Amino acid sequence: MTFEDSLEWAQAEDAADDLRSLRAEFLFPESGPLYFAGHSLGLQPRRAREYVLQEMEDWERLAVDGHFAARNPWVGYHELLTAATARLVGALPHEVVVMNTLSVNLHLMMVSFYRPRPGKHRLLIEKGAFPSDQYAVVSQARFHGFADAVLESEDPLRTLRERDDVALVLIGNVNYVSGRAYDMRALVRAAHEKDALIGFDLAHGAGNLVLSLHDDAPDFAVWCNYKYLNAGPGGLGGVFVHERHADAQLPRFEGWWGHDKARRFEMAARFSPIRGAEAWQLSNPPILQLAALRASMELFDRAGMPALRRKGDRLTGYLEHLLIERGAEILTPQDRGSMLTVRFRRPGTVDELKRRGAIVDLRPPDIVRITPAPLYNGFEDVQRLCALIGELGDA
């Protein structure tokens, strides 16, 4: 890629961008238009308010009858997101469901897929995994009576190939600090060759990377929707369960929303699971959160992940080029998505950037995460951010 450090060049790139109209679909914060923290919380889509207010109005107008008589009946509202979610992560529709939050879903998946036994009890995670993932796997191992089961590895693929005692692998497919993206297909192949099950935390992958969950064939995956996917603070998460488990008699925690849809309201005493990922649902979902996410998923469908990733690669490459020119230390390897992790020489850069209307993310003591999200960021944003960095003395 060839880049130029000039505002005119950046503006010309934006003018030629087929996705440039998507920027107008988002609301930028009062702090300023240079928002580079989509890896932490995505911006609000303009239509989110409209969609949420529609459900508020139907609740006011219909009360309980809204379950079946709302303009989008609540009893099946989550299904409005199924096809778009499947396209986003490269899955079949019955392999995905939007429900709960990430850590809740992770525990539900481990109930089904972490089945330790003597000699085959280890739980493998990557070194530096997100703390909630670490807490979850340690607590699951302890619950099963294997307090020493968790393995942390700098090179999970190598560790997996060298060991025979791993029961379950759980990898964040993009590390939340370094931005490193793992080779999912290679990890899945290695896990299954060792008779281990494998799942992924896609918190920093869903809506960031082009995924092919069905073809790559992990046993499960979980993710949040409030980062790259703009569902709003604390928004609902997503679950993938590969279709080979759709009819399997797996242990799982069960609730009425995972029961046969045609007979759900008969209130039968015996659980009859829906085929596929929806069987893991416990309770009826929060409609207002689904409405907010729906507004964003329509934009992802409009753009398509391949096009977003192509633009994201160019934006991130441009950001890297300009940061290196200004003396920043880049910590993220080339196998990555849209986030760059960097160190600045000058203390206080992040706070000063915020005062000047540019939002990036500091992880103490000195790790700075910067994400040009291709749905709403452009080349001019990147150029202006790096110009500010240069003015602050990190050149």
331 Cβ contact list (under 8 Å, min separation 6): 178, 179, 341, 342, 343, 367
Domains 7-45+304-391 and 72-302 share a fold: no
Answer CATH for 72-302 from 3.40.640.10, 3.40.50.880, 3.30.70.340, 1.10.8.60 = 3.40.640.10
Nearest to 136 by CA among 166, 109, 100, 99: 109
Provide the pLDDT for residue 395: 42
Domain spans in the chain, listed from the N-terminal domain onward: 7-45+304-391, 72-302
The Cα 334–Cα 263 span in angstroms is 50
Provide the pLDDT for residue 147: 86
The Cα 70–Cα 57 span in angstroms is 9
Q: Per-residue DSSP letters for 97-130?
A: EEES-HHHHHHHHHHHH---BTTB-EEEEETT--
Provide the pLDDT for residue 394: 52
Q: Which residue has the tokens 């998460």?
A: 237
Nearest to 286 by CA among 55, 87, 96: 55
Torsions phi, psi for 123 (to 5 deg): -120, 110
Tens-binned pLDDT, residue by residue, of the chain (395 aa)? 789 999 999 999 999 999 999 999 999 999 888 999 999 999 999 999 999 999 999 999 999 999 999 999 999 999 999 999 999 999 999 999 999 999 999 999 999 999 999 999 999 999 999 999 999 999 999 999 998 999 999 999 999 999 999 999 999 999 999 999 999 999 999 999 999 999 999 999 999 999 999 999 999 999 999 999 999 999 999 999 999 999 888 999 999 999 999 998 888 899 999 999 999 999 999 999 999 999 999 999 999 999 999 999 999 999 999 999 998 999 999 999 999 999 987 788 899 999 999 999 998 888 999 999 999 999 999 999 999 999 987 54
Query: Which helix (DSSP H) or strand (DSSP E) does residue 220 occupy?
Result: strand 220-224
* Half-sphere exposure in the Cβ direction for 148 (13 Å, CA): 3
268 Cβ contact list (under 8 Å, min separation 6): 259
Q: Which residues of 315-351 are buried (b: 16+ CB within 10 A; e: fewer)?
A: bbbbbbbbbeebebeebbeeebbbbbbbebeeeebbe
The Cα 382–Cα 7 span in angstroms is 10
Provide the pLDDT for residue 236: 97
The Cα 49–Cα 45 span in angstroms is 8
Handedness of CA 303, 304, 307, 308 (dihedral sign): positive
Report the Cα 150 to chain-centroid distance in Å: 23
The Cα 78–Cα 393 span in angstroms is 49
The Cα 21–Cα 19 span in angstroms is 6
User: Going by CATH, does the domain composed of 7-45+304-391 fall within 3.40.50.12780?
Assistant: no
DSSP SS3 for 277: helix
Terminal Cα-to-Cα distance of the chain (whole angstroms): 22
